[in-house]
Chains A and B, each alone.
Chain A
Amino acid sequence: MPMRWLLLVLLAFVSFAADVRAQNTLPNVQQPTGGQVTTLTVQGGNRSLFKVALPKWQGDDATGRTAVDTASRDFVLSSMFQVLDPQSFTANLQAEGNSIDPSSWRNVGAEGVIKGNAYPRAGGMVHIEMRLFVVSRGPDAVLKRDYDVAAANSRAAVHQFVNEVIKWFTGTAGTFGTRLVFSATTGRGQKGIFTVDSDGSGLARLPTTTNVALAPAIGPGGNVYYAGGLADGQYVLLKSGSPVPAVRHAGLVFGVAFGGGKMALVISQGGASDIWIGAADGSGLTKYTHGHLNTHPAFGPAGQLAYVSNGAGGNPQIYVDGRQVSSRGSYNMAPVWCNDPEGGTKILFMGRDGATWDIFSVNPDGTGMKRLTQDQGSNTYPACSPDGRVVAFFSTRGGGGIYTSNPQGMNQQKIASTVGESLRWEGN
């Protein structure tokens, strides 16, 4: 009898415990098989910039600060990353060393972490180590690079690492560290040729043999060519650093473009401006257009030629291989090709809208014309980075300067405080 009571009490206890467990914690999990699994489809998510943290570097403090500033700027200009405020970081960098504690970075919203070390070496050199961590991938670096460079070139090493980070994420390397070239007024009736890095640093004037240097372009060997006015009134094609004209042609040379192993020259003769095409060294030039106003040539990725023409005396519009691709607006000029990774190949150009100019894009077949700038000063002379991710242009807003955006016109950032004409991006 006592045994029966004992069993009853035990059974009641077990039953009670099972009931409490079922109510408070874990339900019975239905296995995926047997038709007990509920399915739900979530169509896409919201898109947000990849949040990256760049904590203070170890080692040489000055190099570290320059590197963090340089990388931060590149990431912002790329329009793909959001650089987090270092003041929010809670990770113990000393304890982490060359790895990360993912939870520390996840807590501050970081999805990626860039760490670096810089150690001086003999002969003015510096050894730079940079690592990319993806918080969701664990504590170890997913990308690591070492650079031994002159201390003055540490920024170039950082640009290169940022390009590799972009490649790790997207499969296509970035193009930071390349340069832009343009002409700007240097005095009354005088123009010079200038170059600036893609992040707006390193503004420098290039040596020219004339005080009237126009329409620069980067040609074979990375040499900068420009149209220059000589003392005898002739305008010829000159190469920066060389006093000898690269191309002298009957008429006045007012512009040049390179691409696909070819050169396109703008030559004015008898009141008409035409485009001539020849080899990259300027040999074998033949007339491509005939009469009226034809200018601003730009070679496309497959050798197509975009240029400005007023047709039979109408408004200047953009043409590609003889076919008009812009029809809206009264004055469109300065076309440039842009291989936008998101939207495909586009032609960027400047169009006059009332008293100001703005930047537009259009498909090479003339469809899909879009405006990139509006109501923010006068925006002129677009240039596109070789990877097609960044567009640069001059703008009079904010005191004037060079601005960048993505090919859709988003993320407009001022990178330099100089205004000029004929902006071209090295490699495009």
Chain B
Amino acid sequence: MNLQTEPSATEAIAEAKREWEQLTLLPFAEKRPERREQFRTIGGIPLERLYTPDDLRAHDYLRDEGFPGEFPYTRGPYPTMYRAQPWTMRQIAGFGTAVDTNARFRFLIAQGQTGISTDFDMPTLMGYDSDDPRSEGEVGREGVAVDSVDDMLDLFAGIDLEKISVSMTINPTAWILLAMYLVTADELGFDRTKLSGTVQNDIIKEYISQKEWIFPPRPAMRIVRDTIAYSAKHLPRYNPVNVSGYHTREAGSTAIQEVAFTLAAGFAFVEEVLSLGIPVDDFAPRLSFFFVSQIDFLEEVAKFRAARRIWARVMRERFGAQKPESMRLRFHCQTAGVSCTAREPLNNIARTAIEALAAVLGGAQSLHTNGYDEALSIPSEAAMKIALRTQQIIADETGVGNTIDALAGSYAVERLTDEIEAGAMAYFAEIEKRGGVVRAIEDNYFQMELADAAFDLHVRKERGERQVVGVTKYRDDSPNPAVELHHVDEAAAQRQLDRLAATRARRDPAAVEAALAELARVARGDENLMPPTIEAVRVRATAGEIVNALRPIFGTYVEKPVF
């Protein structure tokens, strides 16, 4: 039956459904009652017993779904999707020194990975050099330590940066790492205009959920604006932002909030760059996104489709985008870290596989699958191999990639897509009312919504409404199976300190001082920060030195926590 049915046809269905409920369902349910009064998705959306064409009576296929590669892109950003090539398999890697991580990159590429994704240690993420007192105990532990271009040269040694795209998960210091990346490419002999990849660089979600910050929101927005403007002009294949919902979801938000807050951040970045007078079609095509794929299967597939449709509509209607590329949302995806358990870790392979499938059926462009050891440690080689194989099995054995947007038309999925879209639109109105995204951050609006959602989910879990297999249900007393974990090389920190000392010894201190002075000058004004930053890293100023030069100018951020 066509979704776009005549009113009388859906009425007939509604009537028939009522009859079914009375005559078939009720008597049966009396003898065999349902497990619960109401079921809800993990994000809190009620999940009905049954969806029929009647639930989609307001739908218009051509208006609401259309075709892949065409407005509103609900069915996918490209006309051929995985029939042309599968999504990029992009497992994140990062630990120890750049040399250590480079080895892991090469291992993953040899195993069939098609894109690189870099995880940095906490000091690098937060703008501290490896020898800063604040960095003690954390150098090279949760990611790779990068202090200067010298580190980056080793990080990407032997990798063809013109052929393989590189993603760097870095935020408050993203602009610095991007500058280092460009200088690295120069020194390794690659053409900057051929570089593809991304820096995450989504500072808005930091204040909301991931909480990696240095400066207050307004100067931080200026930095993101400058990277987008610079990239639009000089790096045609590069994505200067990866607007993220993953972390907000991991921090406990609902699926609707994930979509709403992420897209709102995207719109805020668009407005910020527009204020420079740059036309929207000059930079919007290169804005990319990053969502989680959680365990509630149907909700996730619907969520990705809703995100695409919303972005397309708002970009066209509110920002007047005309280029299809400006309206077409592309996203990287990662399976949900919080869904992985420490107990019975091998179960996580199943969870990850299901979440990965949802991401694929949702049309992701790039995917990281978690290792079974996600709740225990940063991923081991063995865990990453299985995670990669999981993606390869989906791509090569299941056939879901051979047809586009296979779940379209499912009454349940289409209905959930609509609901998520409506929920997100309501949030946009609320954010507007509160004076926009940056004001809402300063007023703790997102943080409060998030705290409430996280607490609500926590209560539902403790009440038994959400079960975790092997932990809250089917828990046995056998000792937790031991798995071989990534071995943290405690000597790596010292190696990094030696590397840093060597960099400082080799460089020209006068050049560094001059470069930092120039950077400070630009920071106080309104010119683009990228050129002086590129020059500073070229003469081997370190990330920490750059941040320290800017702290007195931009200030430091202290949060106002909500519970």
The reply to whether chain A is a binding partner of chain B is: no
Q: Which residues of A contact B (CB under 8 A)?
A: none
Interface residues of chain B, those whose CB is within 8 Å of chain A, are none
